[in-house]
Amino acid sequence: MKKIIALFAIWLAGVAPISAEEVVKSPGPEDEQAVISATKEYVAALDASKYDESWAQFAPEIQKTMIKFTYTSGLKLMRTGLGDIKMRKPYGLSFIKDLKNAPPGSYAAYFLDSEFQRVSGQEKVILMKSQGKWMIAGYFFEKSVRFDQKAK
């Protein structure tokens, strides 16, 4: 299942991982709040299994690179493996200019520590400024590995 989640996350995003030289200064508090609001709306749709609704939140530039059926069915498979959300806590927000292997534009990455029914990990939601507003460009989930501290 871990391989499926990792491969799906890479495909789903359609963009390369963020490298340090691409991170730029925040454009301002209005953009920060818009990114946070768009992310909350997106993950709420995912948590409610509203995958068609989550698809509608993607930037048109990104939708052109994906097939809706593949996105929704793959996301459903991944989220079923995670179980219901128990806790989600934001831990970072970065703005990126001209993300590699993606349409030109301004991007943001919002990072969340998340605990689901069956697994814990980190969610990364990538957003793109499109048509004057922040829209979804990708979704990653990376499973956390926990080790027992007891010596045997």
pLDDT tens digits for range 40-82? 999 999 999 999 999 999 999 999 999 999 999 999 999 998 9
Label residue 11 by pLDDT band (50, 70, 90).
Answer: very low
* Segments of 54-132 assigned E as strands: 85-97, 106-116, 120-130
Model pLDDT, residue 40: 97
- Residue pair 121/142 in contact (Cβ under 8 Å)? The answer is yes
Q: Answer whether residue 84 shows pLDDT above 90.
A: yes
Q: What is the mean pLDDT of the chain?
A: 84
* Segments of 2-132 assigned E as strands: 23-24, 85-97, 106-116, 120-130
For residue 93, give Cα distances in angstroms to 35, 110, 146.
9, 5, 25
pLDDT of 85-133, one tens digit each?
999 999 999 998 878 788 888 999 999 999 999 999 999 999 999 999 9
